[in-house]
Amino acid sequence: MTQPARRFAVIFDRDGVLNVDTGYAFEPHKLEWMPGAKAAVARVNRAGALAIIATNQSGIGRGYYREADMEAFHDEMLRQLEAEGARIDRIYFAPHHEDAAEERYRVADHPDRKPNPGMLLKALAEFEVDPLDAVMIGDKETDMEAARRAGVAGFLYRGGDLDAFVAERLATLMGTDVS
């Protein structure tokens, strides 16, 4: 019996990692990429790893914007990535918050809302990725805590060229040069 091929994954936080965190980013025409972000996603794709987003979106729960607004923002991200020959394999989001305006989103400690690992665990299960074969790249300690709780290596991105940052992490993760 043959073993299934190993699958690698890079799980990105969204705001502050892929796009500039303007505070509740949801308007497609205001999408601004972090330096090297599109190239970083393309690098992950070329390496044969999954590119996944796991993002808290409490602005939905708080009533600042609708889920449809977030989806339009994501559609624009995906469109611009596709124009660069890159893709995101899946986007997971957590609209929950303890102070949510809508009752359906009003949850004090939802398992998907980082620092809880729910979104990461769903991604690992859905794509059959061993936690040791995945990394989380985030800009907040909550991202790192979610990664720790999911058994995934977490790397704190503090700005700069995301492509260079991802190249180093991919080489370590996959044990090969991923230029």
Question: Per residue in 9-47, pLDDT tens?
Answer: 999 999 999 999 999 999 999 999 999 999 999 999 999
The response to whether 113 counts as a known ligand-binding position is yes
pLDDT band at 1 (very low <50, low <70, confident <90, very high): low
Whether this model's pTM surpasses 0.85: yes
Among residues 114, 109, 95, 94, the alpha carbon closest in space to that of 154 is found at 114
Q: What is the pLDDT of residue 10?
A: 98
The response to whether 15 counts as a known ligand-binding position is yes
Q: What is the pLDDT of residue 177?
A: 62
CA 163, CA 112: separation in Å to the nearest integer? Answer: 27
Q: Is the distance from CB of 142 to CB of 156 less than 8 angstroms? A: no
15 belongs to the catalytic site: yes
115 exposed, middle or buried (CB, 10 Å; 0-12, 13-18, 19+)? middle
CA 137, CA 144: separation in Å to the nearest integer? Answer: 8
The response to whether 106 counts as a known ligand-binding position is no
Q: What is the pLDDT of residue 2?
A: 62
What's the pLDDT tens digit per position in 119-178?
A: 999 999 999 999 999 999 999 999 999 999 999 999 999 999 999 999 999 988 888 665
- Hey, what domains does the chain have and what are their CATH numbers? 9-174 (3.40.50.1000)
163 belongs to the catalytic site: no
Q: What is the pLDDT of residue 37?
A: 98
Q: Using N-to-C axis directions, what is the helix angle for 67-83 and 37-46, rounded to 10°?
A: 70
The response to whether 139 counts as a known ligand-binding position is yes
The response to whether 112 counts as a known ligand-binding position is no
Q: What is the pLDDT of residue 174?
A: 87
- Give backbone dihedrals phi and psi of 100, rounded to 5 degrees, phi first: -60, 145
User: Is residue 5 over pLDDT 80?
Assistant: no
Instruction: Copy the structure tokens of residue 77.
Output: 């991200």
CA–CA distances in Å: residue 22 to residues 27, 104, 106, 133: 10, 26, 24, 31
Q: What is the pLDDT of residue 120?
A: 98
* H or E stretch at 162: helix 162-174
What's the pLDDT tens digit per position in 56-110?
A: 999 999 999 999 999 999 999 999 999 999 999 999 999 999 988 988 999 989 9
Cα torsion angle, 126, 159, 70, 150, sign: positive
Active-site position among 13, 133, 143, 163: 13
DSSP readout, 121-137?
HHHHHHTT--GGGEEEE
Q: What is the pLDDT of residue 178?
A: 59
